[in-house]
Amino acid sequence: MRRMLVCLTVLCLMTGCSQGAGAEELYWQQEISHLYPSDIRTEETSGTAQQTGTETVTDEIQAIWVPVMQYGDWMTGKEESQFRENVREAFAKMAALGINTVFLHVRAYGDAYYDSSLFPKGAYLTADYDPLKIMTEEARKQGLSPHAWINPMRLQTAENLARSDAQYPLRQWHDDPAYNGTRLVNVDGRYWLNPAYPEVRQLIADGAAEIVDKYDVDGIHIDDYFYPTQDASFDAAAFAESGASDLAQWRRENTNAMVKLLYDTVKAQDPSLIFSISPQGNMVTDHDTLYADAALWGSEQGYADWLVPQIYYGYENAACPFTETLTLWKNKTDAAKLIIGLAPYKIGAEDMWAGAGSQEWLTDAEVLSKETAQSLAQADGVAFYSYASLFAPEPSAETLVAQERERIRKLLTE
C-alpha cells in the first residue's frame, strides 16, 4: 500500500500529506487538527506507541505492498523460471517476517501483469508468461493471502498509449475524438480516465471482474490515485452536461459511484472476496483535493471491506502527527476493517514534508516499530510500503532497517 501537479510529483509519491500538492498552500499548512475529536488525547492515544504484549491475533491483517517498480528487478529480462524463483524468495522473506497478506500491483497504468482481454501487457514484462498466476501460486505456498492491486484511473503516458495495440478499449478511445479529452484526459503528458461517464466506470469494473474470475486472489485493492488535478478543464464537458452546480461534490459523487461499482462487481463474483482501498493518510487532502470521500467509505456499508490509510507520518509530523491521525481514522471507520499503512522507506531519512518533525526518522531509529505496535493494538492490522523498503533498502539505511525489521518480526510473530 501511494500527484502530477506543480512539479512535486515524485516527492508527493513518497510522502503522505504532501500528495495534496496542487493546492496553493503547502501540505504542512493543510493541517487536520480541526477534525480531531475534543477528547483525542486520551490514555488510548497518549502520543507514545503501545505494546500489546500478546501473541498475534490470527485474523489480524499483516500486509505488504509490492509496487510495479519491483517488477524491474523480478521480471524484466527474466524467463518464467527466473521470475518464479525471485517471487518465491521474496515471499519466503515476507512469511518469515510475519506477513500474511500481499498487495500485488497488477494494473498500474491501464496495463496488465496478467492475462487480460481489456488492457495491454505491462512494460516490465518482457517474456511470455502470466505473472499474476505465478505470484498467486507462490503466495499460497507461503501461506500468504494474495490481493490484486489496481489503479483504476491512472493510465499510460500519451506517447505509450498512442503506440498501444488497437485491439484494446483504451487505444480505441484514444483514437476517437469524441472520447479523447472526455472519457480519457491528458494531464501533463499522462492520460487519466474520467469517472463521470458510466462507460468508464464499467470498463474499470470489468477489469476487476476478469481478475477475480480468472485468478486465485482473495480480493481487489486500489490506492489513492483518484482525480489528478483540481483544474476544472479536466471534466468541463461532463460537468456542464450533468447540470450540477458544485464541481467538488460532483467529482466526489463520481468517485463514489466508481468505488461502489467496483465493490459490487467483486462481491457479485464471490461475497467472500475482499475489496480494499488505501486512501491518502490526510483526510482533508482526500476529500478536497483528490475528491475521495474516504470517511463515507469507512462509515457506510457497501463501499469497502478494508480501509488502509497511508499514515506515513511520524509522531512529530507538524500537520498529521501519527497518533492523532490514527485516532481520527479509527473514529471515522466503523463499517470496514481499519489497517494502518506504514512507511519503512522513511527509516533513517529526512522527512522533508514533516515541518518541525523533519528529523524524527533520523534521530529515533524505532519510529516504525513503535507505530507498528500501536497500530496492532488500536486497529485491525498493518500494511508496509513497500517490499523493497523492508528487504532491499538504500545502503545508507541497511543497518537501521535490519534492526527495525527484527523488532517488527517479533511484534508480528511472537
Give tens-digit pLDDT for 97-148.
Answer: 999 999 999 999 999 999 999 999 999 999 999 999 999 999 999 999 999 9
2 inside domain? no
Instruction: Read off the pLDDT band of 40 (50, 70, 90).
Output: very low
3 inside domain? no
Residues with Cβ within 8 Å of 35's Cβ and at least 6 positions away in sequence, in order, are 283, 284, 328
Q: What would the pLDDT profile of 363-409 be if each residue is shown by its tens digit?
A: 999 999 999 999 999 999 999 999 999 999 999 999 999 999 999 99
147 inside domain? yes
Instruction: Read off the pLDDT band of 154 (50, 70, 90).
Output: very high
The span from the CA of 113 to the CA of 93, in Å, is 22
The span from the CA of 366 to the CA of 407, in Å, is 9
**Alpha carbon distances (Å) from 68 to 73, 249, 308, 343:** 10, 32, 18, 17
CB 309 within 8 A of CB 317: no
Verdict on whether the full-model pTM lies above 0.85:
yes
Instruction: Read off the pLDDT band of 32 (50, 70, 90).
Output: low
Q: What would the pLDDT profile of 252-287 be if each residue is shown by its tens digit?
A: 999 999 999 999 999 999 999 999 999 999 999 999
Q: What would the pLDDT profile of 287-324 be if each residue is shown by its tens digit?
A: 999 999 999 999 999 999 999 999 999 999 999 999 99
CB 386 within 8 A of CB 345: yes
pLDDT at 46 over 70: no
pLDDT at 37 over 80: no
**Alpha carbon distances (Å) from 200 to 53, 94, 182, 207:** 48, 36, 10, 11
CB-neighbour burial class of residue 221 (10 A; exposed 0-12, middle 13-18, buried 19+): buried
CB 39 within 8 A of CB 261: no
The pLDDT of 314-341, averaged and rounded, is 98
The span from the CA of 369 to the CA of 251, in Å, is 37
The span from the CA of 346 to the CA of 314, in Å, is 9
Q: What pLDDT was estimated at residue 35?
A: 58
Q: What pLDDT was estimated at residue 240?
A: 98
Instruction: Read off the pLDDT band of 4 (50, 70, 90).
Output: very low
352 inside domain? yes
Domain holding 391, by residue range, is 9-413
4 inside domain? no
pLDDT at 358 over 50: yes
1 inside domain? no
Q: What pLDDT was estimated at residue 34?
A: 55
**Alpha carbon distances (Å) from 60 to 83, 293, 380:** 29, 25, 6
Instruction: Look at the chain and report how many structural domains it folds into.
Output: 1
Instruction: Read off the pLDDT band of 59 (50, 70, 90).
Output: confident
We report the CATH number of the domain holding residue 224 as 3.20.20.80
The pLDDT of 339-361, averaged and rounded, is 97
